[in-house]
Amino acid sequence: MIIFGVDPGLTRCGVGVIEAGAYRRLSFIHVDVVRSDPHTPQDLRLLEIYNGLCAKMDEFIPDVVSIERVFAQENRNTVLGTAQAAGLAMLAAAQRGIPVAVHTPSESKLAITGNGRAEKIQMERMVARILGLNQLPKPADAADALAIAICHALRPAGAIQGGEREQHLTKAQRQWAQAAQRAGKTSSAKRAM
């Protein structure tokens, strides 16, 4: 299973891609940051983040997208930009029929270190150790994206968040395909007349 982790942000949106194999063996695939220029109008920044996320999803074709849940901060603008970036990741995944899971930073810390209040350096070290990396992933946004992907891979088997949604998406996709097929037949019949 390919897991696409997202640490949402408007200036730097972290992306981490891992593979979860048999016996929960995790392998590193990719880490990067999708950036937008803070001096650009916000609508264009959002477009830049969205296009970057779409390109990454199209390149790695994940089975699930795991996104860090936005939490309240004192800076309202930061929260707003982070929430918008998370929404863009959800939209890009939904357009591709990819299930989405959302995890809090505390869930991620607990899954990776066993401590829901772990320090950032502890997280970076454990992410590197779990994925067999020779150095700590940089920048912090990229490390957080890998952590969110790892968190999703290590969640208890009974806590599959995307299961129902995955079935719903599959049903929705079937309905769209059937509707498109009917529309195609109708158009063909009209052309034959």
Residue 168 pLDDT: 41
Q: In CATH terms, is domain 2-160 a member of 3.30.420.10?
A: yes
Binding residues: 7, 68, 141
Residue 68 falls in the annotated catalytic set? yes
End-to-end CA separation in angstroms for the chain: 49
Choosing from 58, 68, 74, 124, the catalytic residue is 68
Of 65, 70, 145, 159, residue with least CA distance to 112: 145
Collapsed DSSP state (helix, strand, coil) of residue 119:
coil
Model-level pTM? 0.80
Binding residues for Mg(2+): 7, 68, 141
Residue 43 falls in the annotated catalytic set? no
Choosing from 43, 141, 164, 166, the catalytic residue is 141
- Position 169, amino acid: L
Choosing from 7, 107, 124, 144, the catalytic residue is 7
Place of tokens 């700590």: 136
Provide the angle, in degrees to the nearest 10, between the axes of the packed helices 120-131 and 140-154: 60
Please give the chain's pLDDT, 193 residues, in tens.
Answer: 999 999 999 999 999 999 999 888 999 999 999 999 999 999 999 999 999 999 999 999 999 999 999 876 666 777 888 999 999 999 999 999 999 999 999 999 999 999 989 999 999 999 999 999 999 988 888 899 999 999 999 986 534 444 444 444 444 445 555 555 565 544 444 444 4
Residue 32 falls in the annotated catalytic set? no
Residue 189 pLDDT: 43
